[in-house]
Amino acid sequence: MLYSLFHILLQPDVTGGPAPVAPTGGGGPAPGPMGCGGGGTEQIGFLLLMFAVLYFLMIRPQQKRAKQHDAMMAALKKGDIVRTNGGVRGEITALDDRDVTIEIAERTRIKVLRSHVAGLDQPPEQKN
């Protein structure tokens, strides 16, 4: 039913007669071919609305997560248990401005970029 309604509305005039002429009073712009006038402001309003929705649903939460991650990166210290972006888990044994040294097993240490630390991790539970 909806398809047939759009089909009728969008069907071109095939009667061969002249196109109807809109009265041009002192008002706003003449209506377009579908009888709608003033579409420019509606389009701008719609774009602004879409940008606002995009900002609050995607951009703002991402910025919030980035700030939290930066704060966590600044608070890293020796002895913290961390997990890297690659999934490697270990304890920080040394760190500087660029690198973090992580002990992933007894006497096994790796250096990773500080920016590749995904976050703090909990130590594994000891089984009795």
What is the pLDDT, as a whole number, of residue 4? 56
List per-block mean pLDDT (blocks of 10 residues) for the chain, which spans 128 residues. Answer: 54 57 56 59 92 92 92 91 94 93 95 92 68
What is the pLDDT, as a whole number, of residue 102? 96
What is the pLDDT, as a whole number, of residue 89? 94
What is the pLDDT, as a whole number, of residue 41? 87
Comparing CA positions, the residue from 92, 95, 83 lying closest to residue 121 is 83
Domain annotation for the chain: domains and CATH numbers: 80-120 (2.30.30)
What is the pLDDT, as a whole number, of residue 13? 54
